Structure 1
Amino acid sequence: MKSWTYPYPVHEIVLADSLRMAYVDEGEGPVLLFVHGLGSNLKAWTKNIDSLKSRYRCLAIDLPGYGRSSRGNYPYTMSFFSEAIAHFVTALDLSEVHLIGHSMGGQIAILFSLQYPEVLSRMTLLAPAGFETFSEMETAWFEQVYTPEFLLQIPEDQIIHNFEINFAQMPADARFMIEDRLALRDSLEDYQAYCKMIPKCVLGMLREPVADRLRHIAVPTQVIFGEQDRLIPNSVLHPQLTVRSVAESGQAHIPNSRLELIPNTGHFVQWEASQRINRAIIEWQEKE
């Protein structure tokens, strides 16, 4: 939404098919490219950019349909997002990119690394989607339940709760996420577009699984989860799974990778444990 306040100057670039992508570009040096998750935007990386821009060129994008990037009748598949990022990388003539993805952005990053490994130097996956697998029946359940009509009817208290469970303990400086979402509801046109997009993104993740392709990742990859993640694994469909079991099962298939689980931290790991994440990014970037 144009009315949202962003912490840095926002740039825009027009990519293929008149798609307009908003991004921030802070600092100089080796390139860190941040990709946000479902229902989020580039502001999710503020605590990381603030710290890392003194060492690196920090680029964070609003994925198509999100934030200040263009909305449209896009497919919102993982391949669509990966291709948009590829156009962005080409347009800015980027190379040796350290790609950093959170949640859905992690699954997009995985797919991007499989499709365009030549532009990457390494990758950081934060609570990535894509490690946990879903059956055809479970996918059909999501398709039936997670509809635009369902999202439009979610009451305010449930919206607040849905944000709070992204954290082990939601910090006060993250409350803007709730405020931005509630403000989005004030524009019916924007909110309807959002509620049409989100189910497409969810089904995009489910219909383009990456778990069986992790062994083909060719760039050094670190994987970080919060031990108190309440979104991965899905507690309704997979109550038998744990954060550790999902994290370990995925990371074990990625060559040249490492795994870290951060105590007392939830799904929004880059915000709740920003200092540890920033150190991990620096350590991975500087690793020979």
Structure 2
Amino acid sequence: MNPKYQSKKAKFVAHMKVPEQKYTRLQSDIEIAYLDQGPKNAEIIVFIHGLANASMVWQWNTLVLSETLRCISIDLPGNGLSSRGDYNYGMPFYQDCVLEFLQALKIKKATLAGHSMGGQIAIGCALTASNLVKDLLLFAPAGFEYYTPEEAILWESAIRFGNFLNMDELHIAQSINASFFQTSEDSKKIIETLNQYIQKNNRNSYRRMLDMTISSMLKNQIFYDLKNIRQPVLVFFGEEDMLIPNRFLHPVSPSEIARKACSEIKQSFLFTYPQTGHFVQIERAVEVNHTIKKYFNGQNPVT
């Protein structure tokens, strides 16, 4: 990795400060925790985290982008500091919550940014409520990799009988570390925060949320709906992503998965980074933030 990049990254993380926590209650009586940074009259980006994560995974980006943009990062229900409950967890549920959140904050139109599962949720929102979604920023999004019905059954069974749903401290650390090309203070910070959230949770309830969400991701695949996206889409992938694709079922590179999916989208810009894992928005925060700033300044993000 470029030493100059490492130096910038270390300085950036050292000065990172989490803003004041805010809450809003949806009409469905679900309380959503969120962070709101940047000028109130600026263009808005709403950031959606991935499976078993929280809004804090976006702080490497929002701290910089909020200089000129309003950056709102949410905790999905069942995650972070948002409500827990006997909800019908899954893609339709999360999409409804995000869209209801926009209405609760009186946001008429926003860019949606999603990481991993959050990317699949953002795509779903763009397809079902295109009038509310201006653009999409997708970071290693779930949904780009298509599973046949047989593959979906096989993969879901493997997850159920494996260790993924055993979200104790050991397995959280293993899962997060596997999502980075190289473990660092960044991965340690995420592990520490997620463990704090897990300790406040009912583990059986948390496992139910994970189980239902994973099942829904596979049942509500969106690959063949990508052609219906009308908004401009910026896609970011790490070339050493160990989660996408599933190497057991699809022995191809992350870049190949990304290119194939982007070819389905009418207006997409793809950015791939070497020596970068699943948390591309963190490991390549400097480059990613620069690209997003260029895009919102009306410049071609590719040049």
TM-score (norm 2): 0.87
Q: Does 1:280 align with 2:297?
A: no
Q: Structure 1 residue 148: deviation in Å?
A: 9.1
RMSD: 2.0
Partner of 1:266: 277
Between 66-75 and 6-15, the greater mean CA deviation after superposition: 6-15
Q: Structure 1 residue 176: deviation in Å?
A: 2.1
Please give the per-residue CA displacement for 1:206-254, whole angstroms capped at 9, x wherever unaligned: 000100000110111111101111110011222x221111000100110
Alignment CA distance shift 1:268-1:99 (3 Å): same
Partner of 1:95: 108
Q: Distance in 2 between matches of 1:140 and 1:9?
A: 42
Q: Does 1:121 align with 2:134?
A: yes
Q: Structure 1 residue 259: deviation in Å?
A: 0.7
Matches within 5 A, 1:3-14: 7-14=18-25
Alignment CA distance shift 1:284-1:184 (3 Å): same
Partner of 2:267: 256
Alignment CA distance shift 1:44-1:154 (3 Å): closer
Q: Structure 1 residue 152: deviation in Å?
A: 5.9
Q: Distance in 1 between matches of 2:168 and 2:20?
A: 33
Q: Structure 1 residue 55: deviation in Å?
A: 0.3
Q: Structure 1 residue 159: deviation in Å?
A: 3.3
Q: Does 1:196 align with 2:203?
A: no
Please give the per-residue CA displacement for 1:98-132, whole angstroms capped at 9, x wherever unaligned: 11111000000111100111122211111000010
Q: Is the 8 A contact 1:184 1:190 kept in 2?
A: no
Please give the per-residue CA displacement for 1:241-283, whole angstroms capped at 9, x wherever unaligned: 2111100010011011111101211100111111111112112
SS in structure 2 at match of 1:16 = coil
Q: Structure 1 residue 145: deviation in Å?
A: 3.5
Alignment CA distance shift 1:83-1:184 (3 Å): closer
Partner of 1:211: 223
Q: Does 1:220 align with 2:232?
A: yes
Partner of 1:62: 75
Q: Distance in 2 between matches of 1:184 and 1:89?
A: 25
Q: Structure 1 residue 149: deviation in Å?
A: 9.1
SS in structure 1 at match of 2:258 = helix
SS in structure 1 at match of 2:193 = helix
Q: Structure 1 residue 286: deviation in Å?
A: 2.5
Partner of 2:55: 42
Partner of 1:231: 243
Please give the per-residue CA displacement for 1:113-171, whole angstroms capped at 9, x wherever unaligned: 00111122211111000010112222222343333995565665443222111011022
Q: Distance in 1 between matches of 2:166 and 2:25?
A: 34
Q: Does 1:138 align with 2:137?
A: no
State the one-letter code of the partner of 1:36. H
Q: Distance in 2 between matches of 1:9 and 1:133?
A: 39
Q: Distance in 2 between matches of 1:281 and 1:167?
A: 21
Alignment CA distance shift 1:118-1:264 (3 Å): same
Q: Is the 8 A contact 1:165 1:230 kept in 2?
A: yes
SS in structure 2 at match of 1:72 = coil
Partner of 1:30: 43
Q: Distance in 1 between matches of 2:217 and 2:148?
A: 12
Question: What is the aligned residue count?
Answer: 281
Q: Is the 8 A contact 1:122 1:285 kept in 2?
A: no
Please give the per-residue CA displacement for 1:158-198, whole angstroms capped at 9, x wherever unaligned: 432221110110221330222234445545x5322211111
State the one-letter code of the partner of 1:278. N
SS in structure 2 at match of 1:260 = strand
Alignment CA distance shift 1:132-1:201 (3 Å): same
Q: Distance in 2 between matches of 1:150 and 1:161?
A: 10
SS in structure 1 at match of 2:28 = helix
Q: Is the 8 A contact 2:35 2:72 kept in 1?
A: yes
Q: Is the 8 A contact 2:19 2:35 kept in 1?
A: yes
Gaps of 5+ in 2: 1-16
Please give the per-residue CA displacement for 1:48-93, whole angstroms capped at 9, x wherever unaligned: 1110111011101001111011011112211111111111111111
